[in-house]
Amino acid sequence: MRRRRVPSARGSCSPRRSGCAAGCSKLRCRRTRRVWPRPGRLDLLPGDKVMQVANNYEREVFNGDLGMITGMDLDEGELTVRFDGREVTYGFGELDELVLAYATTLHKAQGSEYPAVVIPLTTQHYAMLARNLLYTGVTRGKKLVVLIGQRRALAIAVRNSNTRRRWSKLGEWLTPAGTSFTAAAAVRH
């Protein structure tokens, strides 16, 4: 086995959020060596990497934004997070908008890059083992990508190029009334 230094800023990308040993919720707790959060217990601490999980237009912080907890005022019941050099304050009652970001799903990682990425692959993720998701995960790492898990799961993901067809009305909404989507597409090209 070859050893080398892993970049300090890294992310874990899991196909699933919860429900198995390699889900993001469990990876976050293992990464921080914390026990599962209990109701009424604050499990966010200064220095933690966090992710905003809902759009908040008043604060100008959006779903998927990553930040670092820079302060906590127990007397005021507030937590401060730095997002791209900008400080944002949350009341303790608003912390459901934040989750620890040491591990995230592949879907949330889309559009982001990390120096190093660790991707767990297990057959427990069977429904999520698809080539396009594996590609998404692998392309998130700038310097290092580590796949851990079962070889069989990797083989299934590589062979599975079947993606479910998405049913939407987007084509219908984009075409003028009375024309078909294919006719409208042919006219545009």
In the chain, alpha helices (H): 24-32, 106-109, 131-138, 151-159, 170-174, 181-188
pLDDT at 31: 46
Residue 83 in any domain: the answer is: yes
CA distance 49 to 15: 20
Q: Are 17 and 128 in contact (CB under 8 A)?
A: no
Asked whether residue 169 is assigned to any structural domain, the reply reads no
Give the per-residue pLDDT at 94.
Answer: 93
pLDDT at 60: 95
Q: Is 84 a domain residue? A: yes
- What counts of helices (H) and strands (E) characterise the chain? 6, 9
Q: 6-46, pLDDT tens digit by residue?
A: 555 455 555 555 555 555 555 545 444 444 444 444 578 89
Residues 102-108 have a mean pLDDT of 82
Domain range for residue 77?
10-159
Q: For residue 139, is it within any domain?
A: yes
**Who wins on pLDDT, 189 or 96?**
96
Tell me, yes or no, whether 4 lies in a domain.
no
Sheet holding 10-14, edge to edge: 103-105, 10-14, 114-121, 141-149
The answer to whether 8 touches 101, Cβ cutoff 8 Å, is: no
What's the whole-number mean pLDDT along residues 96-123?
86
pLDDT attached to residue 1: 43
> Cα 14–8–47 angle (5° rounding)?
85
The separation between CA 140 and the C-alpha centre of its own chain, rounded to angstroms, equals: 11
Residue 76 has pLDDT above 70, yes or no: yes
What length is written for the chain? Answer: 189
Across the range 71-86, mean pLDDT stands at 94
Q: Per the structure block, which two tokens stand in for 29?
A: 């707790």
| Range 81-95 average pLDDT | 95
Alpha carbon 92 to its chain's center: 23
**Bridge-partner residues for 118, per DSSP?**
12, 146
Domain count, the chain: 1
Q: Are 44 and 90 in contact (CB under 8 A)?
A: no
- Decide which of 167 and 179 is more confident: 167
Q: What is the domain-level CATH number for residue 116? A: 2.30.30.940
Instruction: State residue 163 phi and psi, 5-degree precision.
Output: -115, 145
Q: What is the Cβ-side half-sphere exposure of residue 157, based on CA atoms within 13 angstroms?
A: 26
Tens of pLDDT, residue by residue over 118-171, are 999 999 878 889 998 899 899 989 999 999 999 999 999 999 988 667 677 777
